[in-house]
Amino acid sequence: MGKRHTAEEIVAKLRQVEVLCGQGRAIAEAIRAIGVTEVTYYRWRNEYGGLKGNQVKRLKELEAENARLRRAVSDLTLDTQILREAARGNF
């Protein structure tokens, strides 16, 4: 597996491709210049396209918070189910 890029690096590379294309280079050539595959570029563009560096950082923070909250809700739901079964005597 290759190098993992930070969100800020990804946004910078996406901008670099935009600049290279603006200078008249072909999209495929610009993608090769940043050192990633076309598949990676288009995946990054779908996820990070149009975001600024600080927005990417905030997005990642919110995704981490959302995952934490989902785990908390899941744990509480499981606890509730266990307590209900114990109260019914199904243990």
pLDDT in tens, 40-79: 999 999 988 777 777 888 888 899 999 999 999 999 999 9
Q: Are residues 9 and 20 in the same domain?
A: yes
8 Å CB contact between 14 and 48: yes
Q: Are residues 27 and 58 in the same domain?
A: no
What pLDDT is stored for residue 80 in this prediction?
A: 92
Write the secondary structure of 3-71 as one string of H (helix), E (strand) and C (coil).
CCCCHHHHHHHHHHHHHHHHCCCCHHHHHHHHCCCHHHHHHHHHHHCCCCHHHHHHHHHHHHHHHHHHH
pLDDT at 12 over 70: yes
Q: Are residues 43 and 87 in the same domain?
A: no
Q: Are residues 3 and 43 in the same domain?
A: yes
What pLDDT is stored for residue 1 in this prediction?
A: 57
What pLDDT is stored for residue 2 in this prediction?
A: 63
Domain of 29 in residue numbering reads as: 1-51
What pLDDT is stored for residue 36 in this prediction?
A: 94
Q: How many domains does the chain have?
A: 2
Across all residues in the chain, what is the average pLDDT? Answer: 89
